[in-house]
Amino acid sequence: MTRELVVYSGRNRPNLAPAYRLFEQLTGTSVRVEKIYHWDVEQQLIALHHARMCW
């Protein structure tokens, strides 16, 4: 089964898509990017951590 790396990213700049694609091809790990709005990223990280929603 292909492993998946989830990247929580506050912004879409810089555009890291080329780096994601290279990492996928070199490691066989798929990369899924989920946006977290950067302005309140601190509280969202804490909430995710406590809820164990995603990891």
Partner 1 sequence: MTSSQLALETVRHTGVFEPYPAPIAREYPNWLSAPDYSWLSFTAWPRVAMINRRVLGDDTVSWPAGLEDLCDARYRDRIGCASLVEATTVAQFAGLRIAKGDAYVEQLLDRLRANGLRIFHCNLDTREPLVREDLAALLANSSHVHVFHLEGNAVEAWLDQEEDEVGTHVEAHTVAVLKGCKEPERARDFVDFLLTAEIQSLLHACTARRP
Q: Which residues bind partner 1 (CB under 8 A)?
A: 3-11, 13-16, 18-19, 22-23, 26-27, 29, 31, 38-39, 41-42, 45-46, 48-49, 52, 55
CB of 15 to partner 1, least distance (A): 6
CB of 33 to partner 1, least distance (A): 9
Which DSSP string corresponds to 1-55?
---EEEEEES-S-S--HHHHHHHHHHH--EEEEEE--GGGHHHHHHHHHHHT---
CB of 11 to partner 1, least distance (A): 5
Written as six digits, the tokens of 23 are 């990492």
